[in-house]
Amino acid sequence: MKLHAVDDTFISHLKKILPEGVIHPAERRYLEEPRGQWMGQKALLVRPETTEQVSLLIKAAYEARVAVIPYGGGTGLVGGQIMPVGPSPLILSLERMNKIRKIYASENVLISEAGVTLAEVRNAAYDVDRLFPLSLAAEGSARIGGNLATNAGGINVLRYGNARDLCIGLEVVLPDGKIWNGLSRLRKDNTGYDLRNLLIGSEGTLGVITAASLKLFEQPSHFYTAFLEVASPSAAINILYTLRAKLGNVVSAFELIHKQGFDFLSEKLPEIKLPFKEASEWMVLLEIGFEGTTDGESSIDAFFTLGQEKGLVTNAIIAQSERERHEFWAVREYIPEANRLIGSISSHDISLPLSAIPEFIERAKVLISNLGAFRINCFGHLGDGNLHFNVFPIPGKLHQINVKSQNRIRHQVHQLVNSMEGSISAEHGIGRLKLADLERYADPAKLSAMRAIKDALDPRGIMNPGVILRPL
């Protein structure tokens, strides 16, 4: 269905139905994405303050057949927050919808508007002695609506789940402007189709999330945080299996880190304090959150002693203070920034069956070496099978890299992932970047069902066109 550009008639209509301060020209920052792969076109920016204003905007866009691009914190890495081609769209920023509406501490529920940053949600939970466990490097700027729209993951998925697992209910403006008030606090509700799970992860293609009721948890009484040097990815997985069997569901994070990440930090961010002077090839950043009083730490210490005897753990440094714990996590959180400063050729957010990860890493290394001389920084959330497998030029060779070689690397990595029953998108979404890969690897029946849902809910195709599914 043909879309229309934002024009003077449409703008005049919006000015009649909306208060002052909502409509703006789109500044450059709303037209960019973090990796600089696309640039958005001229657009009209709207910054509503209420769900009712969002409803008026969406209804107007629906009637005028104007594309709507939902915008959160702009931190997405697959191009889902911009529209580089087509008729000039309406960029709908949720940044002014930034209130914590209510906290029910005794129920472990927090109701947040979509424009609240993830850090602000986490701080609000902390203020009532609760934990909202979703945590990722961009939490200071990423907004909760975008986290839910992409079903964000992060470092604590192992224990607490993805964004979808942390959400009880939603408030959503649908493509025709209707408001779905699904802000339930109920943990059990079997009344028809699960619209909540459908909207989470839909990347703004089926509606605009305006608020969410979120799960809170008890704050761990203390953390056990350690950097381990491990013999191999297989050894790391062995350690994880054994720890979970020994301690149960208290392992919050289990991050695999390659030495290349440390080298990039030393080169580009030397102010970041590294735990090892001479790091081994593979390391794990481990965090366990204990609740109440427990003697679990003595069990862990005994386990690591045994791990060293068996050759699984070659060295371990345990955080001795909260400051040291934050220093450890700063290392992990700044690796993506160091990657950005180096400049990757091709970045891959993938997931694999846990037992397949060691084989994938070895096969992928051979695959990349057959394509030429490159550097690989492989790191990620090992506990839930999510790897960031990123390929970089060797020093001084960036100018020799072209789009053709980028596409060849991405295609071969994704082909290998698919052959090993993995996913080409673990936590960043499909956006525009992986649209062709989704078409190539997804089950045809799934794609057909997705198209039917899109056509039913958004028959005029105004919601984030070109994201997840190609416009017809």
Give pLDDT, residue 404.
Answer: 72
Selected residue with higher pLDDT from 309 and 395: 395
List the beta bridge partners of residue 275.
none
Compute the half-sphere exposure of residue 53: CA atoms within 13 Å on the CB side of its CA: 19
pLDDT tens for residues 408-443?
999 999 999 999 999 999 999 999 999 999 999 999
Q: Residue 399: is its pLDDT beyond 60?
A: no
Please report which confidence band the pLDDT of residue 312 belongs to, taking 50, 70 and 90 as the band edges.
confident
Percent of the chain with pLDDT over 70: 96
Please report which confidence band the pLDDT of residue 384 belongs to, taking 50, 70 and 90 as the band edges.
very high
CATH classification at residue 181: 3.30.465.10
pLDDT tens for residues 71-109?
999 999 899 999 999 999 999 999 999 999 999 999 999
Q: 86-116 burial, b if ≥16 CB within 10 A, otherwise e? A: ebbbbbbbbbbbbebeebeeeebbbbbbbbb
Give the mean pLDDT of the chain.
Answer: 93
The answer to the question of residue 274 being in a domain is yes
Please report which confidence band the pLDDT of residue 247 belongs to, taking 50, 70 and 90 as the band edges.
confident
The answer to the question of residue 37 being in a domain is no
Are residues 393 and 248 part of one domain?
yes
Are residues 414 and 284 part of one domain?
yes
Please report which confidence band the pLDDT of residue 448 belongs to, taking 50, 70 and 90 as the band edges.
very high
Are residues 275 and 192 part of one domain?
no
Give pLDDT, residue 213.
Answer: 98
Q: Which of 218, 248, 271 is the last residue of a domain?
A: 218
Are residues 227 and 209 part of one domain?
no
Strand ranges for 311-400 from DSSP E? 313-318, 349-351, 374-381, 386-393
Please report which confidence band the pLDDT of residue 372 belongs to, taking 50, 70 and 90 as the band edges.
confident
How far is 142 from 139, CA to CA, in rounded Å? 5
Q: Residue 205: is its pLDDT beyond 80?
A: yes
Are residues 345 and 391 part of one domain?
yes
Are residues 259 and 110 part of one domain?
no
Number of independent structural domains in the chain:
2
Are residues 208 and 237 part of one domain?
no
CATH classification at residue 356: 3.30.70.2190
Give pLDDT, residue 411.
Answer: 93
Residue 227 main-chain phi, psi, to 5 deg:
-100, 125
Give pTM, 2 decimals.
0.93
Q: 43-81 burial, b if ≥16 CB within 10 A, otherwise e? A: bbbbbbbebebbbbbbbbbbebbbbbbbbbbbbbbbbbb
The closest alpha carbon to 388, from 442, 332, 327, belongs to 332
Are residues 254 and 172 part of one domain?
no
Are residues 325 and 209 part of one domain?
no
Are residues 393 and 256 part of one domain?
yes
The answer to the question of residue 81 being in a domain is no
The closest alpha carbon to 210, from 141, 132, 144, 153, belongs to 144
Q: Residue 154: is its pLDDT beyond 70?
A: yes
Average pLDDT of span 182-188: 94
Q: Kindly state the tokens that stand for 17.
A: 């139905």
The answer to the question of residue 366 being in a domain is yes
Are residues 380 and 235 part of one domain?
yes
Q: Kindly state the tokens that stand for 97.
A: 């919808």
Q: Which value, to the nearest 10 degrees, does the dihedral of the CA atoms of residues 361, 363, 365, 366 take?
A: 170
Average pLDDT of span 162-181: 97
Q: Which of 404, 419, 434 is the last residue of a domain?
A: 419
The answer to the question of residue 377 being in a domain is yes
Q: Identify the residue whose tokens are 């497998």.
A: 389
Q: Burial level of 18, CB count in 10 A (0-12/13-18/19+)?
A: middle
pLDDT tens for residues 297-307?
666 776 677 67
The closest alpha carbon to 288, from 313, 331, 325, belongs to 325
Give pLDDT, residue 339.
Answer: 94
Q: Residue 295: is its pLDDT beyond 60?
A: no
Average pLDDT of span 281-294: 85
Are residues 309 and 357 part of one domain?
yes
The answer to the question of residue 67 being in a domain is no
Give pLDDT, residue 243.
Answer: 87
The closest alpha carbon to 339, from 348, 327, 328, belongs to 348
pLDDT tens for residues 40-57?
888 999 999 999 999 999
> Phi/psi class of residue 468: alpha, beta or left (left: φ > 0; alpha: ψ in -120 to 50)?
left
The answer to the question of residue 325 being in a domain is yes
Please report which confidence band the pLDDT of residue 131 belongs to, taking 50, 70 and 90 as the band edges.
very high
Indicate the range of 28-32, 309-313, 318-322, 342-346 predicted with least confidence.
309-313
The answer to the question of residue 257 being in a domain is yes
How far is 179 from 1, CA to CA, in rounded Å? 24
163 is in which domain, residue-wise?
100-218
Q: Residue 245: is its pLDDT beyond 60?
A: yes
